[in-house]
Amino acid sequence: MAKVGRPKKIEKMQPWERKEHERKEAMKHLTAEQLQAINETRETLRQFIEQWSESFDIHSPDVPRKLQDAFWALSGQFPRD
């Protein structure tokens, strides 16, 4: 385990740690507009899913489920830190 205040070497990271490190580095390279678009999309999808989640059985159940899957995929890749 890395000491506090001292970054862990990439070579010694577990696969999940390396993936998280790469994700954070990539997020640093987004423009302000890109980050704003991602955050607005996440928030809009979250609100939509909350409002529509009670009626998944109305209409095609695939559409809201795909939206929910997309929301969580986006949230997993671009969490608010």
Write the pLDDT tens digit of every residue in 23-58: 888 889 988 888 887 888 888 878 777 777 766 555
User: Greater confidence, 60 or 75?
Assistant: 75
Q: Model-level pTM?
A: 0.54
**DSSP letters for the chain:** -PPTTSPPPGGGS-HHHHHHHHHHHHHHTS-HHHHHHHHHHHHHHHHHHHHHGGGTTSS-THHHHHHHHHHHHHHHHS---
Question: What whole-number distance in Å separates Cα of residue 19 and Cα of residue 23?
Answer: 6
Q: What pLDDT does residue 40 have?
A: 81
Q: What pLDDT does residue 67 have?
A: 77
Across the chain, mean pLDDT equals 77
